[in-house]
Structure 1
């Protein structure tokens, strides 16, 4: 969705306050100045402060994003302020790093609120874009860069276009035609600034695979759709497998499609790989269940988000140590009948909106609780029911798995046979991420090269 239409020049300011309360009041004043909704600025600011004490809205990269639902006619109001030397809030160090304070007011009636939050979080993960805003020499330039950044037009870092890159792109279409491919997967994260939409293949259906999907890539008309897959591994097949799986569940690909994958090591600025993948052959373990690959209660965006979090846990671990955990998604009524809590449920009592995996501020919370024994039980709409849960399906649903898989993987496989759900398992010993559906296992991510566990 277009984010730039919700921001106005009058709501892009230089913040003078040195504390969070004062900074929020400044943003609230410019946000409500022309509204006729009768919003109580002080009351909303107090609610924002209370929320901040419960869960920080600091995103990293010097950006904090306080957000709240209010009763108003407009769907959204954005306001952004530049902070000179950080802000003070209860002595917490991370707020000293804040250089951009972004305020999001959303109508109580907006249903895509979490999707907007996620889109904004992806935008602010772009370090170059954020730095470009922070280092603007004056307020006018700052406002211009904010508008350009939100419209997706901010200049990207220069990319090295070698003769070999151009040759590979040119030959890709020939190979796709000769091998009778139905689509080309373009891995845009090969280049530090991404591949612009104009680099689609006019004679082929082109699908962009990227860690941060952009609407603008599809607006060019040459990119049919974009699949967001977080990429860390230099093993090309890992990201391709995740992208194709998501494409199958979203109906982008069919089981008899043949795809040409074009890419290279993320941020290397060098294309080095062409792969022709026959979906029916590569996905033969799950292809018979194509029509039932995604449980009816599970939203595809929830599965996409959890694959991303599982991938990050596999690669990063937690505090330098490998982490093993399990996520069970969907059919929670039946799954809960097979659950025994190992600890007090850390998500009990929180609002559903605050414990939804689609909320970008939940990523770090999920990773933190992943060190607890047991697994996560997640509803199909993304609401986390519990963590630290021992999941034990009836004995008849267990079966032998290949050598090297332990009790966590056995439980993950069994629960998907006992209930209409899907599970993701992260191995602490190997770093592999495995998806299970109806007892069938499908490896998504092998251990990334150069990562120890």
Structure 2
């Protein structure tokens, strides 16, 4: 998402205030000076009220206060830096905020949550935030910001690829043509010190880059036809494969009948050492046996991607050092609600839908905190969190599950069979993340349960 067009050097400044309220006043001053339809005195109370309702701190010393306003423009950004840091209530260990990114969004901006998420993804990179903090001038900082948000982050100086990498990429083209593959997929996280440099032969075949670092418009992405951003939670070769294919199917990047030639290696090894051809119909044969469309009709791809991302993070990180198991039920909400009842008071009741949408980066910590509750998260197809701590009671479920899968997996399988939904389960014992559709399990990370591999 290209956001650089909304940045202005006039609205990039070093902050003089040492409090959040003072910083907001400074940023509002430069944001409203040229726009007559924006009034500082009316905007400040709204921003402070949001802070009192829900924190806008993202971590890494960055806060993202934001507000919908009535204006002709779609977005207005203002960025303030404080090298000394400003006080922010609730931060631990005397942590301070060094960047305040103010976002004003027009009432008609439909991709508002996606913009918030895009900013959050970028500033979660500690190295990027440190680079901005150390910038010697505001001109340099603004240049770095516009480059990053424009999708052209500076990459390390290109060095000549090894002969093995060049050979693997050339052979991938030959294998793809010989096996009648529809696409070549390159796992970009294999490369650490240099970008992927595909050969000229890639122009004759559809190519897709898979990488946790991939951003729309990134320089190395320009040579690929599509880009899929998927985080790897394993050091294994092609560790992102199933998650990436699932995301690609939901987005329409791949078709269920596609054959795909994959090139990858151990993450951060700088060496491609694996070439494999995958037939998606065989890979997902159980899930796609009865229907071509894996996705429920009311679920948007970006919501599924976000839920899987949160589930994966819970799987690896747990919560406060302890493993966590939870269940997300996504889509067909009206029918699902008839098969659930609350185990606790609903923590999401009474909040605006926009404030409790899982696409919002500020919901990450909230969802992770409530994941310790028994029961399931019920989520609409557009990402709105309906409830947490919901008990699922479905008609009798007779399909057997692999040994080692307990009540949470049985509930996920049952609700996915009884309704047109997806269920994503995080196992508290193994960290396995499993997607259920029509009662059938798709493990996103291969692990063994009771001697049987899912």
Under TM normalisation by the shorter chain, which class is it? over 0.9
Provide the rounded CA distance (Å) in 1 between the counterparts of 2:222 and 2:136: 36
- What's 1:77 paired with? 76
Q: How does 1:92-103 map to 2 (within 5 A)?
A: 92-93=91-92, 96-103=95-102
Provide the rounded CA distance (Å) in 2 between the counterparts of 1:418 and 1:380: 17
- What's 1:25 paired with? 25
Contact between 1:217 and 1:223, CA under 8 Å: does it hold in 2? Answer: no
Name the Cα RMSD after superposition: 2.2
- What's 1:36 paired with? 36
Contact between 1:78 and 1:102, CA under 8 Å: does it hold in 2? Answer: yes
Note the C-alpha offset of 1:273: 2.4
Provide the rounded CA distance (Å) in 2 between the counterparts of 1:25 and 1:159: 43
Q: 1:240-263 CA deviation, whole Å, 9 max, x = no partner?
A: 111112222222222221111122
SS in 2 for 1:185: strand
2:61 paired with 1:62: yes
Range with greater deviation from structure 2 (94-103 or 383-392) = 94-103
**Which ranges of 4 or more aligned residues in structure 1 deviate by more than 6 Å?**
197-200
Note the C-alpha offset of 1:414: 0.6
Note the C-alpha offset of 1:27: 0.6
Q: How does 1:222-241 map to 2 (within 5 A)?
A: 222-241=223-242
Provide the rounded CA distance (Å) in 2 between the counterparts of 1:302 and 1:412: 18
Q: Runs of 5+ in structure 1 lacking a partner?
A: 449-453
- What's 2:451 paired with? none
SS in 2 for 1:442: strand
Note the C-alpha offset of 1:170: 2.8
- What's 1:46 paired with? 45
Change (3 A) 1:336 1:199: farther
Provide the rounded CA distance (Å) in 2 between the counterparts of 1:307 and 1:9: 37
- What's 1:423 paired with? 423
Note the C-alpha offset of 1:152: 2.7
Q: Runs of 5+ in structure 2 lacking a partner?
A: 449-454
- What's 1:178 paired with? 178
Provide the rounded CA distance (Å) in 2 between the counterparts of 1:230 and 1:114: 20
Contact between 2:327 and 2:424, CA under 8 Å: does it hold in 1? Answer: yes
SS in 1 for 2:235: coil
Range with greater deviation from structure 2 (351-360 or 125-134) = 125-134
Q: 1:185-208 CA deviation, whole Å, 9 max, x = no partner?
A: 112222347746867821210111
Q: How does 1:204-219 map to 2 (within 5 A)?
A: 204-217=205-218
Q: How many residue pairs end up in the alignment?
A: 446
Q: 1:35-60 CA deviation, whole Å, 9 max, x = no partner?
A: 021x2313322221221222222222
- What's 1:451 paired with? none
SS in 1 for 2:240: helix
Q: 1:273-315 CA deviation, whole Å, 9 max, x = no partner?
A: 2221111211111122443311111111111111111111111
SS in 2 for 1:321: coil
- What's 1:10 paired with? 10
Contact between 2:6 and 2:77, CA under 8 Å: does it hold in 1? Answer: yes
Q: How does 1:269-280 map to 2 (within 5 A)?
A: 269-280=270-281
Change (3 A) 1:221 1:85: closer
- What's 1:316 paired with? 317
- What's 1:130 paired with? 129
TM-score by length of 2: 0.92
TM-score by length of 1: 0.92
Change (3 A) 1:207 1:290: farther
